[in-house]
Amino acid sequence: MSHIYLNSTMLQQLNHTVQEYVSDWMRSQTLHFNNTKLVTDSTTMKTNSTTFLITIVAAYILYRWLFPAMQTPTSKPVKFEIPLPEAAQKHWKGKRMHSVSGNSTNGSSDDSQRIPCHCPATGQVLGSFSSMTEKDIDVLVSKAAQAQKEWRKTSFEERIQFLVSLQDYILANQDAIARVACRDSGKTMLDASMGEILVTLEKVQWIIQHGKKALQPSKRPGPTNFFMKWYKGAEVRYEPLGVVGALVSWNYPFHNLLGPIIAAVFAGNAIVVKCSEQVVWSSEYFVSICKKCLESCGQNPDLVQLCYSNPPTATDNTANHFSSHPQLKHLTFIGSQPVAHHVLAEASKSLTPVCVELGGKDAFICLDSVKDLNALSSIIMRGTFQSSGQNCIGIERVIVSAKNYDKMVSILEKRISKLRLGSDIDNLEDVDMGAMISDNRFSQIEALIENAVKQGARLLHGGTRYKHPNYPQGHYFQPTLLVDVTPEMDIAQNEVFGPVLTMMRGQNTEDCIRLANSAPFGLGGSVFGNDYTECNYVADQLHSGNVAINDFATFYVCQLPFGGINGSGYGKFGGEEGLTGLCNAKSVCYDKLPFISTQIPKPLDYPIRSNRAAWKFVKNFNTGSYTRSLWVRIRSLLSLAKNAN
């Protein structure tokens, strides 16, 4: 997630600027009274007017910047409360797991019908849940479909009331929401605040302010046909699909769950979300917030449903049953390529359209024109190590031009060596990076690093799993710096999805572009430089669905359509396209003039009296409709009039 912040210095500077304008205006007044007559120097008056206008504009910009929500009329929010899970309490003392054959377990993993949940950072047991069956899925979809029948009739104001109520709850309960997300994912509270809460609030706020406009009927030009364009109108109306589904990944248990819910519900749909078996505990709580919010707003809470199951086996087909469910009108999938193949195969059975987001190998390009490498290193650190590198748009490859490469390596080596691992869920210690969701990929990540070193890469820090002295059952991997990586190495071609900062040297701008496009993914990327023309050129050359210029991942925060190409999937969610993609785009044409409508000319009316005359009529109609010659059009009109009967 990008470095989004409101800098107090910026506020002070802007405030000071406004004050200066006002002071200058007051000082410049040379007004005096002469026998009740106001005397003002004409030059001063002109200057005063200009300065006063600038003051008003500056004040307006300040107002719009600081209070954007206040400019958009919204429905009145409804307050509600939801019980906090015991494990979400601060300083919760939960029992730890014990280890069996090197793998952590809470003792219930032998039961194939249960899904065990634990905190990846501390090893504390969160409980277990019954893996759902095909019948359970059918019931959830049926409840959602029933609720959607009434919800699709609601006004945008009613849907906005749900969003503003949800927004207020999130703002008032940030600590609890972040702690729940951290308990189930192992990340730090700061990472949860930025990657879970901030981006969710942005999505809610954006839809509150712009969602209604995005789903208004879209007027279209209509036909270009010379005879039809005068009386035929055309538009696209966005209508709810019904019940949609989403299969979301575990790396952002709050945001990844809420994102599809917010968009689907605002578009008039019901939604059934299938969460990862890794984060069932938190997902249950987060969905209960949405249900309680709907209920408090006087709406049917069955509109939002949550399902979960163990991965499909020879005897358990629940997961595949969800993906192929005939009542689901659309699916959003966020996950890995291997799982996507199964989901798409199952969805094809019911011809369900799927939006597929599969992660990436995002490149971060540092060009010769970059001036402040220290400042840039901060962005690289945040983009690489937030949530222990488990980000679909995290920085996977840092590509630095030869001029700056060695200096950037030196800066990052010093900074990475100071990173602290651990858990701050209960505010017991200051840490920089939390745990990974599990240890099942540690061997794979270590092998990628080891093989790269054998091929010539240099390992400057980390590279292996970490046994935390305070949390021996936690899933920690050392922050890693691997430099001199080349495209031929496996680590340059495969998504690591972990805390590994991989650096590649580019000889010049064109070489940086070549390196960035050398991986089989295409989700996002960043380019940094002080020459905007050059940066813009690089952005155009990158083979990806999203690019940030002189920033990291802000295309996601900006609510632009989000999605990738190549190995990163296809389709878009987020922004206007994300909302309209969850609707039936119904094309409607109509008569603009009530006294003119389409009629079947007699030469074309069944039964055809003369094929020769009918052909001649249509030929002249086509010619008159699309010719660029005025004289030819006049001749065609005369011929049509002559042969109309």
In residues, how long is the chain? 645
Q: Are 359 and 336 in contact (CB under 8 A)?
A: yes
Torsion of CA 96, 102, 108, 109, to 10 degrees: 140
CA angle at 553 for the pair 280 and 216, rounded to the nearest 5°? 80
Beta bridge partner(s), residue 103: 100
For residue 445, give the amino acid letter: I
Residue 381, both tokens: 């650190």
Q: Which of the following is catalytic: 196, 277, 357, 495?
A: 357
* DSSP E strand stretches across 512-638: 525-528, 548-549, 569-570, 583-591
State whether residue 12 is helix, strand or coil. Answer: helix
For residue 539, give the amino acid letter: A
How many other C-beta atoms lie within 10 A of the C-beta of residue 284? 18
For residue 594, give the amino acid letter: P
- Backbone dihedral angles phi then psi of residue 328, each to the nearest 5 degrees: -85, 125
| Alpha-carbon torsion (548, 550, 553, 556), positive or negative | negative
State whether residue 645 is helix, strand or coil. Answer: coil
State whether residue 271 is helix, strand or coil. Answer: strand
Q: Are 508 and 466 in contact (CB under 8 A)?
A: no
DSSP, res 194 = I
Residue 47, both tokens: 């200057």
For residue 545, give the amino acid letter: G
**Distance (Å, rounded) from C-alpha 479 to C-alpha 459?**
11
- Backbone dihedral angles phi then psi of residue 539, each to the nearest 5 degrees: -60, -40
Residue 209, both tokens: 């302010």
Cα–Cα distances in Å, from 490 out to 24, 72, 439, 487, 608?
63, 50, 20, 8, 69
Instruction: Determine which helix (DSSP H) or strand (DSSP E) holds 25, and give its type and residue range.
Output: helix 8-27
Residue 270, both tokens: 């019901």
State whether residue 637 is helix, strand or coil. Answer: helix
**Distance (Å, rounded) from C-alpha 429 to C-alpha 388?**
17
State whether residue 237 is helix, strand or coil. Answer: strand
Using the structure block, give the residue that is written with the tokens 């799993």: 465
How many other C-beta atoms lie within 10 A of the C-beta of residue 608? 12
The contacts of residue 35 (CB under 8 Å, 6+ apart) are none
Nearest to 265 by CA among 234, 236, 287: 287
CA angle at 249 for the pair 540 and 113, rounded to the nearest 5°? 160
Active site residue 81: no
Cα 443 vs. chain centroid, distance in angstroms?
30
Using the structure block, give the residue that is written with the tokens 């002189």: 550
Q: What is the DSSP string of 429-442?
A: S--SB---S-STTH
- Mind telling me the catalytic residues? 357
